Structure formats: C-alpha cells, structure tokens
Amino acid sequence: MNSNSFVHTAYIGLGSNLGNSRSLLRDAWKSLEQHPDIKAQVLSSPYRTQPVGMESEHWFINAVGQLTTTLSPEALLDLLLKTEQQFGRVRHPELAGYQDRTLDLDLLLYDDMTIHTYRLTLPHPAMHERLFVLVPLAEIGGQLMHPLFRKTVAELLEEQQAGREKIQGIEQVCW
C-alpha cells in the first residue's frame, strides 16, 4: 500500500449460494488481500442464511470483512466487480430480480462517506434491513455508526430483532 496516500476503512459484504461457498468467500477475501492497495483487517464468521428477495433452494453463506485501502470508493467497487467475475459470477441482465451466484461482493461502508451516483450508493442502501449483513457486521464492528441514521450497527441489529422471538434464516457456521 502506498504509504503517502490517505488510508480509508471499508466494509465489504461477501455472499455465495453456488458451489463451495465457504471456500469461495475465503478465496475471494485472500484475493483482495493480494491487491497492493488493500490491507485486509478482519473477516467475520460465516453465516448460513436463507435467500432474501428471491426464490432459491440454495441457501447463502455470508460474511463481512473490514479492510483499509488507498483506492477511491469507485475504484474499490470496480475491483469488487472484477473479483466477482474472476470467481465465476455471471450477471444475466435480461433476468429480473436477484439470482443465484457464486460470489457477491458489496461495498457496505467506506469511512463515514455518503455517495449516491448511478453506479454506487454509500452506505449500502439496504444494509440496515438485512440480517445477513447486520449480524456479521455487528460481530466485527458493532459500534460502527451508520452515516445516515446515526445509529450503531448494534442498534440497527437490535431494531431488526425487535418483536421477533427468534431470528430465523441465519445461523453461524465454521470456516
């Protein structure tokens, strides 16, 4: 990493529901670590999660990782999309909605930055509603502050859990 550049902290959501998902996530994280402008900090435990917003018989493995980088948010997004392709992600633009995938890498947070362009919205616009993001993110950064809602990740998770006797559709697994 270029020591003359300002270092940013980013959080990445990792997911897969095709192939050996745990290995794919670990290998994708290792691939990101190899980039000269990235230093991987911590990767959460993996969580087996029920598909959300789509019909599929394939459950997901999800995790969240923290990294530091000298890349801009847009350059980091480009790297994440390129990494998805390298790990077999195929996007079918003619199909509506979410689809099964070998790898999904989402830029969740980048410092406390807010961005809304045609390519990138930060913080990730649905992260506060998704247990498959909040649970692993709370594991590694529960005191992180959501830049728009001004609530911690732990508080957002508590709100999602409120009124539920039991969180269903998500369970911690081993790497």
pLDDT digit string, tens, across residues 62-96: 999 999 999 999 999 999 999 998 988 776 666 55
pLDDT attached to residue 97: 58
Listed by start position, the domains of the chain span 8-172
Measured CA angle at 128 (ends 52, 17), to 5 deg: 30
* CA torsion through residues 13, 37, 175, 19, sign: positive
132 close to 15: Cβ distance less than 8 angstroms: yes
The whole-angstrom separation of Cα 77 and Cα 83 is 10
Fold of 8-172: Alpha-Beta Plaits (3.30.70)
Entry pTM: 0.91
The residues annotated as belonging to the active site are 89, 101, 104, 106
C-alpha radius of gyration, the chain, whole number: 16
pLDDT attached to residue 162: 82
The CB density around residue 64, as the number of other CB atoms within 10 Å, is: 29
Task: For the chain, report the end-to-end CA distance as a whole number of angstroms.
Answer: 28
Higher pLDDT, 60 or 99: 60
